Structure 1
Amino acid sequence: MAEEAIPVWKKWFEGSGDQVLFLRGFFRNAFRGGFEWSEFVRQCYEIGYKSFMLVGTTAFIMGLVLALQLRPTLVDFGALSMLPKTLAVSIVREIGPVITAIICAGKIGSGIGAELGSMKVTEQIDAMEVSGANPVQYLVVTRILATTFMVPILTLLGDVLGLIGGFLAINISSNVSALLYFNKCIASLDFTDFLPAFIKTIFFGFIIGFVGCYKGYNSNRGTESVGLAANSAVVTASLWIFVVDAIVVQISSLLFYH
Structure 2
Amino acid sequence: MALPPQPWPTGDVEQLEPLVARVLAPNASPFTYTGTQTYLVGTTDLAVIDAGPADDRHLAALIRAIAGREVTAIMCTHTHRDHSPAAAPLAEATGAPVVGCAPLVIETDQPRLDAAFDRSYAPDRVLEDGEAMAGRGWTLRAVHTPGHTSNHLCFALEESGALFTGDHVMGWSTSVVVPPDGDMGDYLSSLSALQERQDRVYYPAHGGPVEKPRQLVRGMIGHRRARERQIEKLLREEARAIEALVPVMYKGVDERLWPAASMSVYAHLLDMERRGTVARLGDVWTTS
Same structural fold, with TM-score higher than 0.5 when normalized by the shorter chain: no
- Identify, as 1 or 2, the structure richer in strand: 2
**Based on CA coordinates, which of the two structures has the bigger radius of gyration?**
1
- Identify, as 1 or 2, the structure richer in helix: 1
TM-score range, shorter chain: under 0.3
What's the TM-score once normalised by structure 2's chain length? 0.17
What's the TM-score once normalised by structure 1's chain length? 0.19
Higher relative contact order by CA 8 Å / sep ≥ 6: 1 or 2?
1
